Amino acid sequence: MGVQPRAQNSGCAGSPCPLYNGAMEPSASSAFERLASASQDMIVKRVDLALLEGQELLSRTLRGAALGALGMILAAAAWFAAAACVTRLVTEDASAVVRLAIFGLLNAGGALGLVTLAMRRGRQQAPVRRNGSVTRVPAEPKRRRLLHSIEGQNGRGTR
C-alpha cells in the first residue's frame, strides 16, 4: 500500500495526461482549431440572440402600433357619436341640412383645436417672467472639443 509521490509539475509532461482524455498535450494547431471553433460557436450564439431580440422588439412595436390604431379608431367613433348626439339634442326641430352643418362645424372646431395644439407643441416657447414679459432665450455658444495632450495647444500636434 505504497502511496505514489505526487508530481511537482501538474503539466503531465511526457506522459498521458488525464486533462486531455489520456492523450498527450495538444499541439498548437489543435489548440488554435479548438479556439476557432469555440469563437465561431460564440459568434453564432450572439447572432441568434440578436435575431431573437430583434424579433421581440418588432413584435412589441407592432403590437403597440395596432393597439394605438385601435384606440384612435375608437376615439374617432366616440367623437362622431358625441357630435351627432349634441347635434340631435340641440336642434330637435331643424332640417337635415342644418343638422349636418352643425355636425360639420363641431368636427371642424375639433380638428382646428387639435392642429393648434400640435403646432404649439412643435415649437419652443419663450419663458415668461413673473411680470408677464417674454424673455428671449440666448443661443448656446458653439463649443469646441477638448484637445488631447498629444494634439498640443493648437490641435496640430507637437511634432
**What is the three-state SS of 105-151?**
HHHHHHHHHHHHHHHHHHCCCCCECCCCCECCCCCCCCCCCCCCHHH
pLDDT band at 19 (very low <50, low <70, confident <90, very high): low
pLDDT (0 to 100) of residue 152: 62
pLDDT band at 126 (very low <50, low <70, confident <90, very high): low
Q: What pTM was estimated for this model as a whole?
A: 0.44
pLDDT band at 30 (very low <50, low <70, confident <90, very high): confident
pLDDT (0 to 100) of residue 131: 73
pLDDT (0 to 100) of residue 9: 46
pLDDT (0 to 100) of residue 53: 93
Contact 52, 60 (CB under 8 A): no
